Amino acid sequence: MRWLLSVAIVVAAASLALAQDKPVSEEGFVPLFDGKTMTGWQGGLDGYEVKDGTMICKPKGSGNLYTNNEYANFVFRFEFKLTPGANNGVGIRTPKEGDAAFVGMEIQILDDGHPNYKGIKDYQAHGSVYGVIPAKRGFLKPTGEWNSEEITVDGTRVKVVLNGETIVDGDIAEAREKGAIDGREHPGLKRDKGYIAFCGHGAHLEFRNIRIKELK
């Protein structure tokens, strides 16, 4: 009897773990990654590969990885796993040419607690709208663990939620008119639609459960 109970517990635990690794059903959300292929993505495909249901950014590759479709207002959800010192980003409303942080907007993906980034500005920390809106720090999980993130873009409002904590909730309207806090030109702030991109910067990262809900 004890043996049967132990088996049942193991099976239940395994089922729960498997369920947690699969995207949850969310009303209105459409998957952007099928866990098997790079279907739906274009651009720097040689810099990414698919393994065990995850999209892996390889240390070597070329260019940004873009969605096939453009998006204006949306909620973008995904999970990511960092390696020590890893650096990437989510380009939003970006064209397919140029630095997404300036020709569009870039939400930082960064192991910002690593010694390599000791001297970074607040607007360069993980979750920040690069050069425009700084994020609250201290909510990343340790490297090697999965993080969940949600990016909402609605008109001039940008909100970033990391592991359940809102780390950015701001408006780009003022930066559009008066300039960004980094003192650089950000013409992408005036774009109202564009591609979503993963901006690889020569580091190994993993992504999964990538999905989007378009807003009216």
Break the chain into its structural domains and give their ranges: 29-214
**Residue 63: what pLDDT?**
76
Query: The tokens of 26 are what?
Result: 């969310």
> Which residues, in sequence order, are bridge partners of residue 157?
154, 171
**DSSP assignment string, 179-210:** --TTSS--GGGG-S-EEEEE---S--EEEEEE
Measure the CA dihedral 7/9/12/15, to 10°: -70
pLDDT, tens digit, 9 for 90 and up, residues 79-133: 999 999 999 999 999 999 999 999 999 999 999 999 999 999 999 999 999 999 9
In CATH, which of 2.60.120.560, 3.40.50.620, 3.20.20.370, 3.10.20.600 is domain 29-214? 2.60.120.560
pLDDT, tens digit, 9 for 90 and up, residues 14-50: 444 433 444 445 889 999 999 999 999 999 999 999 9
User: Could you tell me which residues come within 8 angstroms of residue 208 by beta carbon, excluding any fewer than 6 positions away?
Assistant: 21, 33, 35, 53, 54, 55, 78, 79, 80, 146
Mean residue pLDDT of the chain comes to 89
**Residue 14: what pLDDT?**
42
**DSSP assignment string, 20-38:** HHSPPP-TT-EES--SS--
CB atoms within 10 A of CB 55: 23
User: Could you tell me which residues come within 8 angstroms of residue 51 by beta carbon, excluding any fewer than 6 positions away?
Assistant: none
Q: Which helix (H) or strand (E) holds 45?
A: none
End-to-end CA distance of the chain: 56
Q: Which helix (H) or strand (E) holds 42?
A: strand 41-43
How large is the average pLDDT for residues 119-148? Answer: 97
Phi and psi, residue 211, nearest 5°: -150, 165
Given a cut of 50, whether residue 72 has pLDDT beyond it is: yes
**Residue 144: what pLDDT?**
95
**Residue 43: what pLDDT?**
95
Region for 53 from its dihedrals, namely left if φ exceeds 0, alpha if ψ lies in -120 to 50, beta otherwise: left
CB 41, CB 67: distance < 8 Å: yes
